[in-house]
Structure 1
Amino acid sequence: MDRSSDKNYKRDGNDGHKRKHTDVESFHKRRRMVDGDSSNVVARHYNQLPESGLRQRKQSKIYFMRNFNNWVKSVLMKTFQIRLDTEGQRSGIVALDVGCGKGGDLLKWAKGNVNKVICTDLAATSIEQCKDRYGSNKQKARGRIFDAEFIVADSSREKLLDLFDDPGQMFDLVSIQFVVHYSFESESQANRMIQNCCERLRKGGYFIGTTVNSKELRRRLDESENNSFGNSVYSVSFSSKDKFNDFGHTYNFHLDGVVDCPEYVASRENLENIAKKFGMRLVLWKTFSDFFAMNARDREFKDLLKRIKALEYFPSRSPNSNKPGDYDHAKAVCDDIMEKYPESNPRVGTLSSTEWEAASLYVAFAFKKIDENDDETFDVPASDINDIPLLVLSR
């Protein structure tokens, strides 16, 4: 592709017209034209997060929770890549990764039938790290990897369509992991975010993600004594116990070493209503507990649980938590097995109650792009299961 010598522009290879270059400098120029600073707070937080090595991550109090969250994302992405394959998308998937961060999902894309991924994030530093990670992966794969495009943008305020290399770009799969609730600061931002995620999806394409479960926020807030709740690894604080507003209902969220910034309540109903305006229908809404129960028996996904250490072994000589009672649920299962099989030496995989209290705030979701004349209906029942994940590994 020929490029203009002007650093602020690049030339589109399809029709030759000039388009603004989506680098960090142009992003900051665009940001000066939009109001509001909460996005800047979030971007600043993630820009300042240091890169951590494996040794440092293993010392984290939420090491297994983060691995478990990664497992949920992996299974969700793999499930809908397979579904696209079985539904006829065999020529290679084109995907949009909104809120891609530092590129933690690049390998997940590489393992699927994916031809191209456009990665976009609000945090410029994260995008630079994502590009570096992609370059490293491409070198290791000797070039045998999907094509990629990287965009620094606030997807809740800017129209992504104007920033793509190809203005006619279409997608088969859009992923937004642990991000969409940030856009519910206002109705216009939520609409812009969902429009960016859905307007360029092909018919039959999927919009998938993970977000905070507003019903669980409501339940824990109602049970709290002082408008806040949490434990040693996470905390959530509201200003009051008032009824949640549809938009702009803020709370402060802290997750040990990972998140410390304002977030916004995003209910299933509001997300579903906005998505419907862009031809989407909800096909999946599961608590992480329910999602685990639905997928943990699959051989491939069960092996992945073990491989990425998404569950902590119990009993263990060095448990991740020293809080009394944090593994009582695992001990009870092991005791039951030993009672039935006295000669056994049972071992299970699970999360501590402390880590699970944080992880169980989230849900996984998926929407499908349907034709306006399509009368297909989808029954997506409420998902309120929040049992601690547990897998018997040996008896």
Structure 2
Amino acid sequence: MELQSEREEGGRGGEGGRGGEAGGEAVRGGEGGEAVRGGEGGRGGEAGRGGEAGRGQKSGMKRTHEEEEDEEVSPKKLVTDHSVKVASHYNRLQEVGLAARSRSRIFFMRNFNNWLKSVLIGEVLERVRGAGSRQVSVLDLGCGKGGDLLKWRRGGINHIVCADIAAVSVEQCESRYDDMKKKSHVNEKIFSAQFITADCSKEVLSEKLDDPEQLFDICSCQFVYHYSFESEQKADMMLRNACERLKPGGFFVGTTPDSYELVKRLEASDSLSFGNEVFKVSFQSKGAYPLFGCQYHFSLEEVVDVPEFLVYFPLFVHMAKRYNMRLVLKQRFSEFFEEKVKKEQHRSLMMKMMALEPFPCETGGRQATDSRGEYSHAKEHCGRAPLGTLSRSEWEATSIYLVFVFQKMS
């Protein structure tokens, strides 16, 4: 379930400060309408990959009735390879301009997710450099259209390998990189890059590297890993590609849906689906959830409309041990936000990225939605000069996700 923001950086860069004062409060509505301290800002220019939750602005590829019938043409039901659907979906997505992105119903949610990824990437880069690495190499596993390239540029890395299953996305990622190099300052040294189109849940990525001896300090897998949990073989291959070329002490970081949260909401529902005006999750059944291949369908306004699979996290941790990886961080987005927003630098970044919606909106303006009750949680805290908020529907959508960080043991 990848939120578009994750893949497409954009947004109205340079408009820092709109949305409240740096010392104010951000109001979190989500599922309970709790208030959360702080708010944060940063460099503008990142509006939504994926992404992030994952992959960029991905508007939906809805399966037609004909496609569904084709899957049952023969007496033996054909086994569907869902990675083909995922690749087709993201290949069909169109690039849109900043103006169109800013009109999106989930504009602020995409910015929020992008801010969260920026903080995660920035802190991991600090740890890598703190351990003495001067030449930093990165593997972006599921790079999409290149929404995180600016983050790596600001992080001052030296080399990146961008890999994705969707050929069109990889082409757009490479084009974005080339454009970034052309527009860079005369004295600025932009990192080198390699771009690979591959199904990283099936193919061995190390065999496709320009440098067969290449090792990485960081592997970043944003809003992507859950696609591989279709089978044990795919999940293991994805892990192998993420971890086998990491240096000792290197990090595997990412974002993925929280299976416990998804199942909790499903079990609380009177039907096989749940959601609101911006997202919907549909399961085929409830009550039994296999370790692999537990499929659900996720749709997010203008961004995603694909099959996904639950990632049973204890099993994920166990599988990672095969590659000498240990879990060092696992937090839901809400927990990560509440912790990081306490720092002034992160609040500043949040403002610059417009990661929260001003509330109440500026004179003459409108909130992202007029639906009743979408800002009731924010109204409760108006007297405390909140930095900003997301609508209740956006909080509920983004609170499905979690952040993870693994480190390779020596």
Residues of 2 paired with 1:313 and 1:251: CA distance? 34
Cα distance change of structure 1 residues 123 and 350 upon mapping to structure 2, 3 Å threshold: same
| C-alpha contact 1:334 1:348 (8 A) present in aligned 2 | no
Residues of 2 paired with 1:302 and 1:93: CA distance? 26
String of CA shifts for 1:154-196, please: whole Å, max 9, x gaps: 0000000111111111000000000000000000000000010
Aligned-partner SS, 2:271: coil
Residues of 2 paired with 1:72 and 1:148: CA distance? 24
Residues of 1 paired with 2:371 and 2:332: CA distance? 25
Alpha carbon RMSD of aligned pairs, Å? Answer: 1.1
String of CA shifts for 1:12-39, please: whole Å, max 9, x gaps: xxxxxxxxxxxxxxxxxxxxxxx95311
| 2:380 corresponds to | 332
Aligned-partner SS, 2:122: helix
| 1:361 corresponds to | 400
| Residue 285 of structure 2 is aligned to residue 237 of structure 1 | no
| 1:220 corresponds to | 265
Aligned-partner SS, 1:80: helix
| 1:87 corresponds to | 131
Residues of 2 paired with 1:334 and 1:46: CA distance? 40
String of CA shifts for 1:220-240, please: whole Å, max 9, x gaps: 000011110011110000011
String of CA shifts for 1:104-150, please: whole Å, max 9, x gaps: 00000001131000000000000000000000001111462000000
| 1:289 corresponds to | 334
| 1:151 corresponds to | 196
| 2:213 corresponds to | 168
Residues of 2 paired with 1:364 and 1:194: CA distance? 16
| 2:178 corresponds to | 135
Moved more, 175-184 or 296-305: 296-305
Residues of 1 paired with 2:346 and 2:135: CA distance? 22
In structure 1, give the amino acid aligned to 2:91. Answer: N
String of CA shifts for 1:248-291, please: whole Å, max 9, x gaps: 01000001111001000002112111111100000111111100
| Residue 102 of structure 2 is aligned to residue 54 of structure 1 | no
Match of 1:318 among 366, 377, 380: 366
Map 1:273-288 → 2, pairs under 5 A: 273-288=318-333
| C-alpha contact 1:315 1:347 (8 A) present in aligned 2 | no
| C-alpha contact 1:330 1:348 (8 A) present in aligned 2 | no
| Alpha-carbon shift at residue 333 of structure 1 (Å) | 1.1
* TM-score normalised to structure 1 length: 0.81
| 1:28 corresponds to | none
Residues of 1 paired with 2:108 and 2:315: CA distance? 31
Map 1:13-32 → 2, pairs under 5 A: none
Match of 2:145 among 99, 102, 110: 102
Residues of 2 paired with 1:363 and 1:278: CA distance? 22
| Residue 300 of structure 2 is aligned to residue 261 of structure 1 | no
Aligned-partner SS, 1:148: strand
Aligned-partner SS, 2:323: coil
Residues of 2 paired with 1:334 and 1:176: CA distance? 37
| 2:117 corresponds to | 73
| C-alpha contact 1:234 1:253 (8 A) present in aligned 2 | yes
| Alpha-carbon shift at residue 348 of structure 1 (Å) | 2.9
In structure 2, give the amino acid aligned to 1:49. Answer: L
| Residue 297 of structure 2 is aligned to residue 252 of structure 1 | yes
* TM-score normalised to structure 2 length: 0.78
Cα distance change of structure 1 residues 122 and 80 upon mapping to structure 2, 3 Å threshold: same
More relative contact order in 1 or in 2 (CA 8 Å, sep 6+)?
2
| 1:343 corresponds to | none
Residues of 2 paired with 1:311 and 1:158: CA distance? 39
| Alpha-carbon shift at residue 322 of structure 1 (Å) | 1.1
Name structure 2 gaps, 5 residues minimum: 1-78
String of CA shifts for 1:55-102, please: whole Å, max 9, x gaps: 11111111111101101111110000001111111x221000000000
Residues of 2 paired with 1:115 and 1:300: CA distance? 24
| C-alpha contact 1:315 1:348 (8 A) present in aligned 2 | no
Which consecutive segments of 4 or more residues in structure 1 shift more than 4 A?
none
Identity level (%): 48
Asked which structure has the greater CA Rg, the reply is: 1
Match of 2:255 among 204, 210, 217: 210
Residues of 1 paired with 2:393 and 2:219: CA distance? 32
